[in-house]
Amino acid sequence: MESQSNQENQSQPPKEALTPSQKAEKIHSELSKKRDLDQSRINFLSGDSFVRDVSGYTKNIRDRILFDGIKITGRGLEVKDQSVLGFCELASNNLSYVMKNPHKFQEYPGFHFLKRTQSLIENGMPSAKILDKCFEDVTGHDIKALLSKDKAALGFADIAYQRYILKIASDPKYFPLVGYFLAERSVANERLQNGLYSKELAEAKINVFDKFRYLASQYNLPQDHVGRTEKQIEITQFSAFDHLFKHSSGITIVGDYDKGSHRVEIKFGGSPGNFKSVSQKEVTDILLHEIWHSAQAQDAIGIGLRTEVMDRLGESANEGLVEYLTQITGDSNGLGSLSDTSDKYKYPYPVGVKSMHQLDIKDNDQFAALFRASFGHIQPELKPALQKFYVLYDQIKRKK
């Protein structure tokens, strides 16, 4: 979930914009293809889903490295299972890629990496301490000393940080250490979010579960889709939060969900060097939004009303629906309680939300078709519902 200032503006429209009818036809055609909607949950439960950080590890790979593959002894790092070395090399290459392409990730990736590493050193993480010694050997300074330099010129300092990290991450002799450290770091980052927000996550899951069951009953969602969706809500947990994963600089992300993962996350606010937690209201809204995403029908290609094959064509409908559901979750008045003339759309994806709300109160049957489709039940009624949504969307956007 992105901050309001970045939504519905960041992606460039196609050279020849599609009409609402053409969008509806394309999305309906894509979603009508047969998909395995159970595999994402199976992967998650078996440990074969990604933990969502720079390492690129699945939970099973991370566990193999930490519990069977590599041990830290008094002599340093000892490889017990040679088969994990390939995963360590891939993780090191992933970290190197970030440092070679900083413009594709969040601002100051070198600083983010070193700042988090220093925190883990102070918390006594064994691999972080060994990595700190490597930085001292390579640069002549430990990480704390590196971070204390050039604070007034962080942008220039980060170029040096990236170069130092790349020198270590790209050296084969350090692959086992970098791979093991990224595995330990991944677990620590997961625990960080759980430590901060586990209570809020549990409460949000209950609220989404209750609202979903009510709406599924109202809109006649078939029981097989109800059962699958409830299981997806139940298994949703935090990801291994990582500033070096996925997002480019210049885009403010306050929360996130990645297709097929059933792992949600909250991004910290503030600036590099002055991080701050988001407000309690933001935490609740972010978690509700991302849990609704985790609940949606999904497979290896995409989620709900958006797939990568469609090149974001369904994003306005998908995010509009999910944020609309977020806003009404816990609302005792149920659907339609928001005023059609209200200007109080002070939340993400305002055009999509307002369009979805108007569709709900003006043509509830078409809203119901979108709701059912989002949770896996694709019917012919979806096409006119999508067309009506995009007509409303274009009208509202022109008035902004």
pLDDT along the chain (400 residues), means of 10: 48 64 90 89 93 93 96 89 96 96 85 92 96 96 88 77 96 97 96 92 97 97 98 95 61 71 81 66 91 89 47 76 90 45 62 93 95 94 96 89
Q: Give the chain's domain count.
A: 2
Residue 187 included in any domain: no
Q: Do both 92 and 239 map to the same domain? A: no
The answer to whether residues 97 and 226 belong to one domain is no
Let me know whether 26 and 110 are in one domain: no
Return the number of other C-beta atoms located less than 10 Å from residue 125's C-beta. 20
320 and 281 within one domain = yes
Buried-exposed string 329-368: b where 16+ CB fall within 10 A, e elsewhere? beeeeebeebeeeeeebebbbbbbbbbbbbbbeebeebbb
Q: Please give the pLDDT value at position 399.
A: 83
Q: Say yes or no: 283 and 135 in one domain.
A: no
38-46 long-range CB contacts below 8 Å, 24 or more apart? 38/228, 39/260, 39/299, 39/300, 40/232, 40/259, 40/260, 40/261, 40/262, 40/298, 40/299, 40/300, 41/228, 41/231, 41/232, 41/235, 41/262, 43/260, 44/235, 44/261, 44/262, 45/235
CA distances from 224 to 138, 291, 338, 372 (A): 57, 19, 31, 12
Contacts of 117 (CB under 8 A, 6+ apart): 128, 131, 132, 143, 181, 185
Asked whether residue 188 is assigned to any structural domain, the reply reads no
Whether 277 maps to a domain, the answer reads: yes
How far apart are alpha carbons 208 and 292 in whole angstroms?
Answer: 7
Looking at the fold, whether 205 and 232 belong to one and the same domain comes out as yes
Domain contains 309: yes
Verify that 266 and 287 share a domain, yes or no: yes
Domain match, 37 and 163 both: no
* pLDDT score, position 106: 73
The neighbour count for residue 317, using CB atoms within 10 Å, is 27
Note whether 243 and 138 are same-domain residues: no
pLDDT of the residue at 276 = 67
**Are 244 and 263 part of one and the same domain?**
yes
Q: Which of 130, 153, 182 is the last residue of a domain?
A: 182
Instruction: Choose the final residue of a domain: 135, 154, 182.
Output: 182
How confident is the model at residue 42, as a pLDDT? Answer: 93
Has residue 189 been placed in a domain? no
Task: Check whether residue 221 and residue 239 sit in a common domain.
Answer: yes
Residue 193 lies in a domain: no
238: containing domain: 4-45+198-399
Q: Are residues 223 and 165 in the same domain?
A: no
Last residue of one domain, picked from the residues 151, 182, 213:
182
Residue 190 lies in a domain: no
